[in-house]
Amino acid sequence: MNVMELKSVQKTFDGQLEVLRDISISVEKGEVVAIIGPSGSGKSTLLRCATLLTQMDSGELSYLGEKAAWNDENGKSVYARDLKKIRGYFGLVFQNFNLFPHYSVLKNLMDAPISVGGRNKAEVEREARELLQKMGLADKAGAYPCQLSGGQQQRVAIARALAMNPEILFFDEPTSALDPELTGEILKVIRQLAEEKMTMVIVTHEMAFARDVADRVIFMDGGVIVEQGNPKEVIGNPREERTRQFLSRFA
Ligand code: ADP
Ligand code: MG
């Protein structure tokens, strides 16, 4: 089954900068997709389109076969009037954690399930504490984000996304804002989620991680998918010259 599908996405900024030119991606249940590519290639914009933070100019978006956006007769994207249910299908983890600074760790996790999900507080708290335990943060429930390391903050952000029980998680360079010695703890958490068959799309510059953990790697450049496939092939033995050039920077 298809968890998320984007079809022929086009996005232009300020009427001239073509950032996404006809990108299509579909993600299967349990699949881990890594997106790699140079800065400015449109990776974040693509994730923002998938997570309804940015409107596509043209293109279709669906989750679990339910349409979030489709093309009108002029080929312009039209969005569903009520996107609340769709928003419940995905979670997003940013580069800069984006925690609520004035909320405790526990409240960061509990806020959306209660206020958006309308769920029972005691039950949400029990699940939130379990998630913190799983992330190795059980003793940080009462702490505030500013009292945590970057790696701990990012683990809270991942726990917060998981607290909404999403069908799919998107990560936008989840380790790029971290000191190198803190990168490993985040990659370990994502690797564990992959082993649990969480469906994930991860924009990353961690090539070894992408090769080991992803089921599929997509290389983007200039707003198009240049090549995609088995990580060992795309990263280990790319077909396209542009992919090879990009990867040579990591050698
Ligand atoms: P990546 O994540 O691959 O580095 P982005 O999707 O962030 O790429 O950006 C792709 C291009 O779109 C860049 O040239 C960037 O400057 C431009 N861009 C991104 N967001 C905006 C915006 N809100 N307004 C104008 N230009 C933008
Ligand atoms: Mg980006």
Distance from C-alpha of 70 to C-alpha of 196, rounded to nearest angstrom: 32
Adjacency order of strands within the sheet including 2-13: 17-28, 2-13, 58-63, 66-71, 77-79
Number of neighbours of residue 139 by Cβ within 10 angstroms: 10
Cα dist. 140→27, 94, 179 in Å?
34, 21, 20
**pLDDT for the residue 184:** 94
- 60-119 pLDDT tens trace: 999 999 999 999 999 999 999 999 999 999 999 999 999 999 999 999 999 999 999 999
The mean pLDDT value for 130-143 works out to: 97
Residue 69 near residue 59, CB atoms below 8 Å:
yes
Neighbours of ion ligand 2 (CB under 5 A): 43-44
From 14, 16, 19, 224, give the residue whose CB has the most ligand 1 atoms within 8 Å, as the site to mutate.
19
For the CA of 174, the nearest ligand: 2
Query: Which pLDDT value is given to residue 20?
Result: 98
pTM: 0.96
For residue 251, pLDDT over 90 is answered with no
Q: How far apart are CA 108 and CA 198, in angstroms?
A: 21
* Residue 43 parent element (H or E): helix 43-50
What does DSSP assign to residue 75?
A: S
Confidence band (pLDDT; 50, 70, 90) for 154?
Answer: very high
What pLDDT is recorded for position 214?
98
- Rounded to the nearest angstrom, the distance between the alpha carbon of 238 and the centre of ligand 2 is 22
pLDDT tens for 10-36 read 999 988 889 999 999 999 999 999 999
